[in-house]
Amino acid sequence: MVDVSEVVSPRIVVAAAIIMDGRVLAGERAAEPVTLAGMWEFPGGKVEPGETEPEALERECREELGVAVDVGRRVGADAPIQPGRSVLRVYTAVLRHPASPSARQHRQLRWLSAAELATVPWLHSDATVLPAIATLLLAAQCDAAAGINSWLPGRVPRPGAGDQPRSR
């Protein structure tokens, strides 16, 4: 039977586009559910009751990757996962501390440049967000070359750009 609350209000899945040095972190899904195994996604998961979307992302990144992140702004539009039932929302994020994310739940993790985004098979909902991610990665590369970080509002400029240093 159809759950009316899901039809009216689709379940929100949040995912983090963690960007570092012009690359974004992507993960290959492991066995569960088997239909999605081998497909690539951004770290994240379902928003639990009482959580904000950034809080859910911070929790998922701790659980899945063992890292603390600062969540930035939305990237792209809502992408249907199961139309009417669940929707994907991607946010930019940066590592709060220098740390290597570990593949606690993914089969493997990779840092992909804009040119490498199309080299892995993405979940269909993520694929719709990739053009916006590619634009961000290219902007991040340009900003890094210029010593600024304008692509992620709220983040401090890189050292040498006349402001306080970044924490990672």
Ligand X SMILES: Nc1nc2c([nH]c(=O)n2[C@H]2C[C@H](O)[C@@H](COP(=O)(O)OP(=O)(O)OP(=O)(O)O)O2)c(=O)[nH]1
- Phi, psi (deg, nearest 5) at residue 9: -135, 95
What are the distances in angstroms from CA 31 to CA 91, 123, 134, 152?
A: 25, 14, 28, 33
Measured distance CA(154)–CA(151) in Å, rounded: 9
Q: Which residue has its beta carbon closest to ligand X?
A: 45
Q: Which residues bind ligand X (CB under 6 A)?
A: 13, 15, 36, 41-42, 44-46, 60, 81, 88, 123, 125-126
d(CA 93, CA 49): 22
Distance of CA 93 to the CA centre of its chain: 7
Give the nearest distance from C-beta 114 to ligand X in angstroms. 17
Nearest CB to ligand X, comparing residues 45 and 54: 45
User: Based on CB atoms, which residue is closest to ligand X, 10 or 44?
Assistant: 44
Closest CA to 53 of 72, 27, 76: 72
In whole angstroms, how close is the CB of 160 to ligand X at the nearest point?
34
- Tell me the closest approach of the beta carbon of residue 163 to ligand X, in angstroms: 32
Identity of the residue, 45 or 157, whose beta carbon is nearer to ligand X in the bound complex: 45
- State which residue, 20 or 123, has the beta carbon closest to ligand X: 123
We find the least distance from the C-beta atom of residue 158 to ligand X, in angstroms, to be 28
Please state the φ and ψ torsions of residue 26, each to the nearest 5 degrees: -125, 150
